[in-house]
Amino acid sequence: MLESLKKRLENHELGKKWKSRCIPGEGPLDAKIMLIGEAGGEQEEKQQRPFVGRSGQLLRSLLQKAGFDPEKVYITNIVKFRPPENRKPTATEIESCAEYLQEEIKEIKPKIIVLLGDTALKALLGDNYFVTRDNGKVVERQGIKYLIAPHPSAGLRFQKYKEMLKEDLEKLKGLMQKPEQKKLAVFRL
């Protein structure tokens, strides 16, 4: 199904308008974790793969440090093309790619979605959330947990956001455990 999504993306109006190649998501179809960013950059467009530039290198490194294999998570973006001059996508541009993202979520059925940055956060959870205020919070909707985290590009520019992202990815381990697997404190009198 995701192959047909990629073929449809190749004819999308934004790609033609921006003269940009599509950047579909990638990862295993049975991934329990999905990471969603804003849009691809120059390297992502060249390789037609999400998060392969400097931000992606940081993200994949932090995933490994947190104990996750980057090849076992599904990584994608809200907008499936590189915006001109790497600018932030508009609401209309985000909306034009929404159906593709919803198809990815429906197909993958992740248990946890990590929302990387304000664009992904607002596109999926609405305008009442802010990464700077709600970082590290988990919001559950329709059986999916959403973890709010900064975008790795912010981590490249500011050490505090890199640390926040690192802590958020480390938090994933606890979120992945089934309730019966969580360690319980036992008090004896």
Rounded-to-integer distance, Cα 15 and Cα 18, Å: 5
> Is the residue at 10 inside a domain?
yes
> Is the residue at 159 inside a domain?
yes
- Evaluate if residue 6 carries a pLDDT over 90: no
Residue-wise pLDDT tens digits, 46-71: 999 999 999 999 999 999 999 999 99
The model's pTM is 0.90
> Is the residue at 98 inside a domain?
yes
pLDDT for res 85: 86
pLDDT for res 5: 79
Q: Count Cα atoms within 13 angstroms, Cβ side, for 62.
A: 27
Q: Provide the domain count of the chain.
A: 1
> Is the residue at 189 inside a domain?
no
- Read off the CATH number of the domain in which 63 is found: 3.40.470.10
Q: What residues make up the domain containing 24?
A: 2-176
Query: Angle at the Cα of 48 (from 26 to 5), degrees rounded to 5?
Result: 60
- Evaluate if residue 76 carries a pLDDT over 90: yes
> Is the residue at 142 inside a domain?
yes
